[in-house]
Structure 1
Amino acid sequence: MSNLELGIIGNCMYSALIDRKGRVVWCCLPRFDGDPIFCSLINGDEDDVQEGFFDIVIDDFSHSEQHYEHNTAILVTTLYDQHGAAVQITDFAPRFRRYGHMHRSQRLIRRLQPINGTPRISIRMRPTYDYGARPMQTIQGSNYIQYVAPGTCFRMSTDMPVSYILDETPFLLEEPSALTFGPDEPLRYTVAEATRESYEQTLQYWREWTRSLSIPFEWQKAVIRAAITLKLCCFEETGAVIAAMTTSIPEAAGTERNWDYRYCWLRDAYFVVSALNRLGATGTMEEYLDYISNIAAVADDRLLQPVYGIALEKKLIECTIRSLRGYRNHRPVRVGNQAYEHIQNDIYGSVIMAATQAFFDRRLAHPGDRRLFERLENLGRQCTRLYNVPDASLWEFRGFSRVHTFSAIMCWAGCDRLARIADHMELYDRGQYWHAQAERIRTEIEANAYDPERNTFVGSFGGSELDASLLLLHDLQFLAADDPRFIGTVEAVEKELRRGNHMMRYMDPDDFGAPRNAFNICTFWMIGALAAIGRTEDARGMFEEMLSCRNHLGLLSEDIDPQTGEMWGNFPQTYSMVGIIHSAMVLSKSWEEAF
């Protein structure tokens, strides 16, 4: 049965997901949102899938082991047979500096090493196109195979017998060998030389990158893995950060909550920038800010979309793919995302808050200037217009709209940050204006979204429902941590939405009924809120529980079944990686305290 016990490799251009037996089950080329040439992850039960994967099979399989090379995105899988023979598979996507530029070819490299005895293996290479509808055609060369689909051609080069691979013939692996799969281009060196050089330089890149990170004293391994995974979710060409690598992994068993997450959501902007800033990953942060600035540059008085494509595409038309049977046969499989048409008024504040970093961070090569401030003021004007207008909320409700409290608070935050930027730039008249706008919005929020009898803020103006976004009132600096209203809100949300050590995002039925699984980022929000109000031990307990729910490689999806701890939802989830980083930073003892 398919599951999310998967590893990820990538190079900020494309990625691949690999299961515990070394099977590539998901890979979109030439970039994250492309046609998945390996798509078996979302094509029914694993044992029934005949196409859309790339694996190395050992005869008389016994068991496997899997780990990452220390502080890298290089994945090592070892397959053992029942007689003790073993083959080690090292998978990676090349990423290193060459001639002053970052080399990140869309090439999957698999190095094979017999490490005990003489394992007998077979290689099954079965790429598809048109979302699994058809297998690619093959053309045999001297030491390569071309895989051909309409309008594209890939090449696998190898130092193993090509005929064995084409026929999937079992053979004895007696010496180190390698395969590369990617663009239809010949290698400049032998396969052995090219893959060895790429391995060594990619290993060096990732270890140098992780050495530059700022990490907490506690939970270092978890934070480093989350940071590498967050980096892998960056489309470096434009600076976009995708929500997840996959489409249509359902939020819960037996539901149709299947969405395509291979795009960039503006609601994530502030949280992603905050995590990158905490890590000291300023290069990645600045690239993401450039992406955000490009969106702000065309805003003027037009409404922003909640989500954009990784190269600023606006139309992400949602359709159903009938050629794929879905993750564990959960249909529909969706491509595109209707959310690009939604009205979500929180996004203006999110963009402003993310861009605020550019005005105060002296490390950045391109600090914020008057021109960027004026672009952000265009978004601020939308905040003043839309803070009390019904929307779909950050939860993207499809069937109804309300004046959501979180959206209003994000609009307040946008005005508040504009005031701070203006004061910093000594634009005191603009600062006075935005301070006044922020205060006006705050007054209305407090009048319409606070329930004094229950001592809690509520999810919408005049409503009674609660949702987990209210846990961010302190983090967004709307309320102080010791404000009785914040403490009351945390306690009310906890009482209604906490399930053991996991948090639901809300409980009222939506377009698809009542949610059944916990939403991981909400659990991390609760961890932060508990720490803020002094319940540190409870927060640490929740955090340790969340870490125990990661898969064997330290990765998390979007959702967790609070009863079983099983992961659901698209994978790996950027929000969840951000949550690990933020929680560890908040809860860890300092380096000074540790010694």
Structure 2
Amino acid sequence: MIATLNLSPIGNCAATALIDQRGRYVWACCPRVDGEPVFSALLTPAAGEDAGVWSVEIEDEATIEQAYLRNTPVLRTVMRDRHGNALEVIDFAPRMHNLNRTFRPWAFYRIIRPLNGAPRVKIRVTPTGHWGRDHATATSGSSHIRYDCGAETMRLTTNAPLTYVRSSRSFRLEGTLGFHLGPDEPYPNDVLADCEHMLRATTAYWQEWVRTLHLPLEWQEAVIRAAITLKLCAYEETGAIVAAMTTSIPEAPGSQRNWDYRYCWIRDAYYVVRALNRLGAADMLERYLVYLRNLTDMSAGGHVQPLYSVSMDAALTEWIAPDMHGYRGMGPVRVGNQAYEHFQHDVYGQMILPLTQSFFDQRFLRPGTIEDFHAMERVGERAFAMYDKPDAGLWEFRTKARVHTYSALLCWAACDRLGNAAAALGLPDRSDFWTDRARIIRHSIETRAWNEKGGYFAGSFEGEEVDASLLQLFELGFLPPDDPRCVATFAEVERQLRKGDNLYRYIEPDDFGEPETAFNFCTFWYIEALHLMGRTDEARELFEAMLRRRTASGLLSEDVKVDTGELWGNFPQTYSLVGLITCATLLSRSWTAIR
């Protein structure tokens, strides 16, 4: 079976899994999103063709239909055979309020329920260990199967016949079956009753959370699905937010641009919380601020990496998993990410921008304090020290460094927002201090990033190239959209980087040659810029084209192949979903339209 990105994520902000359109678990890592995959079929494990899945198969299959329960990440797959028999499979990770806390273990529930007749089914559970090298060793108890995956051991508890499950033998489905997959711990409860209870409670939790969102009038279904999925990309215990749930889905076929995105990029997480904040979802922002405050303490005003693990581990040494052949056999499969060694100076702005909101937002349970501000000042000092120093930039070039305009812009934003925060705290001297530093950086950007010959802002100081991040010059408030310099820069970005309905990140060759795919987030930046430039009808048309590009589950990956429209890159990509939410809120008609 050829792997595709037509996948549906389930999760609970601790456990995540990707399920394909046939109802098979093909990707899930244990004991957390950046751990080792126990369901690994998405990346073709060496353990064999049937390895790394948890499937339910109906004999004499006729049709399979799949959809989420409304406003939840609970997935329902309906299978019918050629004789009129039918069944449904319900998949979810439990999440509910219990004992004054949120219950969200690393665990999955699966319910298999006959809908019509007595279909014959085959249940295949074949987790892998050692990054796809081996089938997990299975041993049975009275109502459970233990899977020793090497680094982790899981327990599947069920009322299904264990003989049939272990042998993957087909049998008649004459009643409802319940499955709980979690840590290797005794499960003392009635598993089927628990399945039904957890389904009700989990459904209620998510539908209540969605009810708190401030949605645009238009495109609500798309926005809700994007918002739920962004929340699934949070590792709530620490507040971290991962860039995607997968590793090593190539940016383009056979390109070797295979990266591990299961970590918390400071940049990506900033855009996530900013997008959700547009919808009023302050819960994720508050938890992420805890992660940032811990990171601020760790850095003590010194170097900050672009990314960390969800537990804030700094060393993410990159290596290649030898027993994983890759998505459609297109390796390598990388674990870890060498970008943790990079200098990317925009991170200082992306730390301060979300933290600044804590001094203004009265909803927060913990408002920002004077102590928080002084800790942020240490980050600001670093931003001011590094704004005109070469770095790898937000596109993470591995073999060349420049003074990137985007990095300088975010350092400017760091100082500018510190000035705003100081004013809110009644510290006029500190406000003047940081406003002055922002003014110094502004002058450098306006003189050194401006390409006099071309008449536009370049992607680097004294440079000539352009990249899509220049569209952030007016989005971040550095210049108004109608400033002639912004208008000229927008026109140059559009001229060089737009290809059909897509905007490339850049077009100059990088470490791996010329880019072959367009970055979906950049296209959303372009749509946003079109709107700010007064071309709203064109922006709406392009936004609708992007919506048509989504998978059956309503999601997007990182990249798109311009000539075929096929999605590539890690999935689901938070950047892309951020762009969807941002553009929908900007472009939607006002709620006053329904008066």
Q: If the length of structure 1 is used for normalisation, what is the TM-score?
A: 0.98
In structure 1, the residue corresponding to 2:277 is in which secondary structure?
Answer: helix
Q: Give 1:45 deviation, angstroms.
A: 11
* Counterpart position of 1:232: 232
Alignment of structure 1 residues 27-38 onto 2, 5 Å: 27-38=28-39
2:150, 2:187 → 1: CA distance? Answer: 23
**Is residue 12 from structure 1 mapped to residue 4 from structure 2 by the alignment?**
no
* Counterpart position of 1:220: 220
**Is residue 54 from structure 1 mapped to residue 57 from structure 2 by the alignment?**
no
**Is residue 176 from structure 1 mapped to residue 176 from structure 2 by the alignment?**
yes
In structure 2, the residue corresponding to 1:477 is in which secondary structure?
Answer: coil
1:301, 1:294 → 2: CA distance? Answer: 12
Higher mean alpha-carbon deviation, 145-154 vs 512-521, is at: 145-154
* Counterpart position of 1:130: 130
Higher mean alpha-carbon deviation, 505-514 vs 108-117, is at: 108-117
In structure 2, the residue corresponding to 1:298 is in which secondary structure?
Answer: helix
* Counterpart position of 2:491: 491
2:327, 2:320 → 1: CA distance? Answer: 14
In structure 1, the residue corresponding to 2:299 is in which secondary structure?
Answer: coil
1:588, 1:367 → 2: CA distance? Answer: 31
In structure 2, the residue corresponding to 1:326 is in which secondary structure?
Answer: coil
| AA partner of residue 86 (structure 2) | A
1:535, 1:150 → 2: CA distance? Answer: 56
* Counterpart position of 2:408: 408
2:113, 2:315 → 1: CA distance? Answer: 45
Q: Do 2:449 and 2:460's aligned partners in 1 also have CA atoms closer than 8 Å?
A: yes
* Counterpart position of 2:540: 540
Q: Do 2:129 and 2:151's aligned partners in 1 also have CA atoms closer than 8 Å?
A: no
1:399, 1:414 → 2: CA distance? Answer: 27
**Is residue 373 from structure 1 mapped to residue 384 from structure 2 by the alignment?**
no
| AA partner of residue 404 (structure 1) | H
Higher mean alpha-carbon deviation, 103-112 vs 316-325, is at: 103-112
1:309, 1:150 → 2: CA distance? Answer: 21
**Is residue 39 from structure 1 mapped to residue 7 from structure 2 by the alignment?**
no
1:127, 1:44 → 2: CA distance? Answer: 10
Change in Cα spacing, 1:150 to 1:562, as seen in structure 2 (3 Å) is closer
Q: Give 1:455 deviation, angstroms.
A: 2.9
Q: Give 1:276 deviation, angstroms.
A: 2.0
* Counterpart position of 2:345: 345
* Counterpart position of 1:206: 206
2:100, 2:573 → 1: CA distance? Answer: 31
Alignment of structure 1 residues 36-435 onto 2, 5 Å: 36-43=37-44, 49-150=49-150, 152-435=152-435
2:34, 2:268 → 1: CA distance? Answer: 18
Q: Do 1:18 and 1:25's aligned partners in 2 also have CA atoms closer than 8 Å?
A: yes
Q: Do 1:269 and 1:354's aligned partners in 2 also have CA atoms closer than 8 Å?
A: no
Q: Give 1:453 deviation, angstroms.
A: 4.0
* Counterpart position of 1:25: 26
| AA partner of residue 309 (structure 1) | S
Q: Do 2:317 and 2:336's aligned partners in 1 also have CA atoms closer than 8 Å?
A: yes
Q: Give 1:83 deviation, angstroms.
A: 2.4
Q: Give 1:182 deviation, angstroms.
A: 1.1
1:483, 1:150 → 2: CA distance? Answer: 59
* Counterpart position of 2:556: 556
2:269, 2:166 → 1: CA distance? Answer: 45
Q: Give 1:133 deviation, angstroms.
A: 0.9
Q: Do 2:130 and 2:150's aligned partners in 1 also have CA atoms closer than 8 Å?
A: no
1:413, 1:152 → 2: CA distance? Answer: 44
1:294, 1:547 → 2: CA distance? Answer: 37
* Counterpart position of 2:459: 459
| AA partner of residue 443 (structure 2) | T
In structure 2, the residue corresponding to 1:557 is in which secondary structure?
Answer: coil
Q: Do 1:45 and 1:329's aligned partners in 2 also have CA atoms closer than 8 Å?
A: no
Q: Do 1:399 and 1:511's aligned partners in 2 also have CA atoms closer than 8 Å?
A: yes
Q: What whole-Å deviation, never above 9, does each CA across 1:323-349 have from its counterpart, x for those lacking one?
A: 000001111100000111001011111
Higher mean alpha-carbon deviation, 346-355 vs 267-276, is at: 267-276
1:334, 1:438 → 2: CA distance? Answer: 39
In structure 2, the residue corresponding to 1:407 is in which secondary structure?
Answer: helix
| AA partner of residue 113 (structure 2) | Q
Higher mean alpha-carbon deviation, 294-303 vs 337-346, is at: 294-303
Q: Give 1:541 deviation, angstroms.
A: 1.1
| AA partner of residue 27 (structure 1) | A
The number of aligned residues is: 594
Q: Give 1:188 deviation, angstroms.
A: 3.1
In structure 1, the residue corresponding to 2:368 is in which secondary structure?
Answer: coil
Q: Do 1:4 and 1:567's aligned partners in 2 also have CA atoms closer than 8 Å?
A: yes
**Can you give the 5+ residue segments of structure 2 that lack an aligned partner in the other structure?**
none
Q: Give 1:44 deviation, angstroms.
A: 6.8
1:176, 1:361 → 2: CA distance? Answer: 48
In structure 1, the residue corresponding to 2:123 is in which secondary structure?
Answer: strand
| AA partner of residue 519 (structure 1) | F
1:79, 1:431 → 2: CA distance? Answer: 63
Q: Give 1:489 deviation, angstroms.
A: 1.2
2:447, 2:555 → 1: CA distance? Answer: 42
2:419, 2:269 → 1: CA distance? Answer: 20
Q: Do 1:267 and 1:350's aligned partners in 2 also have CA atoms closer than 8 Å?
A: yes
Q: What whole-Å deviation, never above 9, does each CA across 1:382-436 have from its counterpart, x for those lacking one?
A: 1111111010000000010001110011111111111111111121111111111
Q: Give 1:590 deviation, angstroms.
A: 1.1
Q: Do 1:44 and 1:328's aligned partners in 2 also have CA atoms closer than 8 Å?
A: no
Change in Cα spacing, 1:565 to 1:435, as seen in structure 2 (3 Å) is same
Change in Cα spacing, 1:298 to 1:44, as seen in structure 2 (3 Å) is closer
